[in-house]
Structure 1
Amino acid sequence: MTAAEAILCRQSVVRFDPDRPVSDAILVRMLRLAGRAHSPHHLQPWRFLVIRDQGNRDRLRRAAFHHPRLGEAPVAILVLGYHHPDRSHWQVIRDQLSSAVPLSAEDLGRINAEVRRDLAAETDRGIWACRHANAAATTLMIAATDLGLASAQIDRFNGSLIRDIFSIPLDHSLCAVMAIGYAVGEPSTVPCLPLAELCFLEHFGQPWTLGEGDDRA
């Protein structure tokens, strides 16, 4: 399946098959793909809290107002935005970058300065972390589709209660709650607004004139 096919096929399912587990190999593959999402300076400010135990999924479901998808799906994933990857992981990331691309001392100094400058400009690290963690959450849903899985993002939940139940530290924001598993039946096609309703050209309010294109393109 190409990336375009995975995007076109991705649907939020109505029901999951509770008797069909997700294998370790597929789960690991999905998370590795999700971790390839873009992030500034490769800081990867997201963490995935994977919940498979029935008791823990029941506790999560209660904290999400008894959402039925969390009762059916064999896997739930909390997507967290980590506020300070530059403090804990920048050295490791920098070493990996140096191994992949030869960097001079001058290059490393410039990159270090850019990271310090860009992160110092962020007045709310929680918003910054969630902004990029949500990109990872979207990549996770596309990866799930590519692997034959289905996903559903849970919109209503008690974030404070989830934080307490799973001991999520304060330097991690809860950005998304995902249900992952195998769909029951064929998901219906989700309607998509035309580009003329979604896009402007050159200036806000200026009509879109480039047409609708073709999803197969």
Structure 2
Amino acid sequence: MEFHEVMKQRRSVNFFDPKKEVSEALLKEVIETAAMTPSGFNLQPWSLVALRKFGEKERLKKLAWNQPKVTEAPVVLIVLADRDAWKEGHPIVEQNFSEMVKSGAMKEEQRQWFADARTSLYGETPEKQQAFACKNTGFFAMSLMLAAKDLGLETHPMDGFDHDGVRKAFNIPDNFWIPLLLAVGYVGDDFKMAPPKWRRRAEDILVTFES
């Protein structure tokens, strides 16, 4: 599908066909396509918990305003933003720096500069750590939705849930924030897609501020 068509046809779908499964191979393709998303210093501070079992989804549904799509969708992703993924010694940081040295993008003697730059940009305050994690994970989440649509799947992002309840119910460590849940699946053959919602035009979005 052409990118313009993906953008035009993507919808946040409320009703999924629970009988149509999403294969592991297809979900992997969606995730690995979305993993090409850019991130600050390529730190990729995102992870996913994929729920398929009805019991797990039922537990999540009770913490997500009892939205039917949580149990109807064959897969629900808990999207995680790692507030520690800028820190020295973090596995992502170590692998990323190693890969940059290997490719020639950085030299080993730049390690301290890299650490100082990450700290300045992302680690000086809790607010910066939160912004770093959620901003970059938001890029990834949007890519997940577009990749899914391109591969014939429908999605619905949800931020209506008990954040602390979900963290506790699924043993999610404190360094992760949960920006959203994402239902993934198919609609039924008789499902009628809603028309596109109103969107602002370029002239409404572009602004200037007089001094």
TM range (shorter): 0.7 to 0.9
Aligned residue type for 2:158: I
1:96 aligned residue: 99
Using the TM superposition, name which of 166-175 and 192-201 deviates more.
192-201
Q: Structure 2-normalised TM-score?
A: 0.87
**One of 111, 119, 123 as aligned partner of 1:120:** 123
TM-superposition CA deviations, 1:115-138 (whole Å, max 9, x none): 233223344223331122111111
Using the TM superposition, name which of 193-202 and 56-65 deviates more.
193-202
1:142 aligned residue: 146
**One of 175, 187, 194 as aligned partner of 2:193:** 187
Structure 2, unaligned runs of 5 or more: none
TM-superposition CA deviations, 1:177-216 (whole Å, max 9, x none): 1110012224222223241674133338xxxxxxxxxxxx
Query: SS of 1:86's equivalent?
Result: coil
Q: How much identity, in percent, do the aligned residues show?
A: 26
TM-superposition CA deviations, 1:23-54 (whole Å, max 9, x none): 01100011112222221101111111111111
Query: SS of 1:85's equivalent?
Result: coil
Query: SS of 1:176's equivalent?
Result: strand
In 2, Cα distance between equivalents of 1:70 and 1:197: 37
Aligned residue type for 1:29: E
Q: Structure 1-normalised TM-score?
A: 0.85
1:209 aligned residue: none
Query: Alpha carbons of 1:117 and 1:196: their partners in 2 closer, same or farther (altered >3 Å)?
Result: closer
Query: SS of 1:167's equivalent?
Result: coil
Give the superposition deviation at 1:162.
Answer: 0.8
Asked if the contact 1:14/1:187 (under 8 Å) is kept, the reply is: no
Aligned-residue CA RMSD (Å): 2.0
Query: Alpha carbons of 1:198 and 1:100: their partners in 2 closer, same or farther (altered >3 Å)?
Result: farther
Query: Alpha carbons of 1:94 and 1:73: their partners in 2 closer, same or farther (altered >3 Å)?
Result: same
In 2, Cα distance between equivalents of 1:156 and 1:109: 41
1:15 aligned residue: 15
1:18-33 alignment, distance < 5 Å: 18-33=18-33
Query: SS of 1:67's equivalent?
Result: coil
In 1, Cα distance between equivalents of 2:108 and 2:159: 46
1:44 aligned residue: 44
Query: Alpha carbons of 1:190 and 1:94: their partners in 2 closer, same or farther (altered >3 Å)?
Result: same
Structure 1, unaligned runs of 5 or more: 205-217
